[in-house]
Structure 1
Amino acid sequence: MLVRDGSVALDALSEHFSVSKMTIHRDLDDLEQAGLLRKVRGGATIEPGTQFESDFRFRERQGGDVKRRIARAALELVEPGSTVIVNDGSMAAVLGAMLVEARPLTVITNNFAVMEALRNERGITLIGLGGTYSSKYNGFFGVVTEESLFRLRADIAFISTPAVSRTTSYHMDDAVVRAKQAMMKISDRKCLMVGHQRFGRSALHAMADLRDFDAIVTDAEPGAASMEELRDAGITLTIAKDKAE
């Protein structure tokens, strides 16, 4: 229900499962503690907040068409024979699976879904970054991840973000931010992948200025206020078009 609708109401859950509201409250408390959802007045949501991002298992089942469009546009920036970094995230996982189309490549990633997709592919030299595994983000983070990155060099890094406010990208988790920033530091070019609905949002930790990226790929123009701020800052978006357009 959360994957389909993004949020659920306490009353509707109680009626649907034929249990008391108190039972639903306790269940939502357990799921929130596990990091799977965020309780709000009268129900729960998996929509991101300043300190909350939904579990990877939810995110990988949402917005498939948008993610594929953005990933396909980002793939055009990859040249065979190059070294590519792919960060954590469900959109990045879609791009990771597409990278076989640009082989031979060396792919550096902390995204377990990308490792799974590429581990048996010929023409792909896969460098999986170790570290502390996070089931919430389905990736590896921490000091081991960051220090491993600083021993490497890449041609291009593909970075995703759940929030953009004005000209700054944000994330809810400081360990995730540090890993993304380390990836950017060792890459000659940087590409930000972000859905247009993520503009006009913020999160707890600032990650990077949009002007630090060589390309910003999204699926549609964000709202008028965001577009005005981007134009004033001289920032151009690459809009991933639908094949039917």
Structure 2
Amino acid sequence: MAPFLTQEIEQRVLGYVAAREDTKALRACALAHRSFVARCQAALFYRVTIRKIREIDALARLSPRILAYIRDLRIAPSSDWLSTYTRHSYFEDNMDALTGLLVKLPAVLHLHIDSSLTSELIDYADLSVELRRAILEKLPSLRTLALTDVMRVPLALLDHLQDVQELHLENALFEDKRGVELIQRPTGVKPPARLSRLTYTLHPDMTRPSGFADFVKKLGVQPGAGTLPNAPLDISALRSLRLQVKDFRQEQRSILDACKDTLN
């Protein structure tokens, strides 16, 4: 029997449902006809958030075809992730599971590491070597990187953001020493990644050094020095900017001067 709807109408209907992120409707569409399955699965698994340990295991059991649909990954441990299991060895096992999952995800474009649901900042330097390497391998293809409540992040990570367009940093504390032994600068000459959106906010009560001044240099600007050569990030075409940092007025002014002609 000929299909009741033309392919164009089918695509429009499924596109509308996918845009609304209506998971119940997407599941219903996937069951309606086998021709809808791939499109619905792609929408259902486009954005995935990991809050609990058991979610890592559930995702790891999915087929490679399904895992390839994941484009937007948020790692946001809930408080019970950290409080239920207190033995250090068990936490190491969880990092191994997360590492194994990251290795299986071939098409992540947006990565958000978020510790705001817990009472502690994620200490990047305390992540396992394997997990840090798995994250590093994802950086060159990312379009978005977001770090929330993460401390001791090596500045050298920014050198690997080859295609990033959006960078969102909330209470992200950088440093220029720890973890550098794991990170080699990309070989060859490459153009800087051109950012369109930049967020950098830092809670005023945070007493740890933020590394903000060194971060600004990665944007290719420095107070009194104008444009810096060979910076990994380019903000000359920035369309959206949010800065909320105590002090560092000269650094913030240098950022504004570099992108004042393109900000909306």
Task: State the TM-score, normalized to the length of structure 2.
Answer: 0.28
Task: State the TM-score, normalized to the length of structure 1.
Answer: 0.29
Question: Which of the two has higher C-alpha Rg?
Answer: 2
Greater relative CO (CA pairs within 8 A, separation 6+)? 1
Larger strand percent = 1
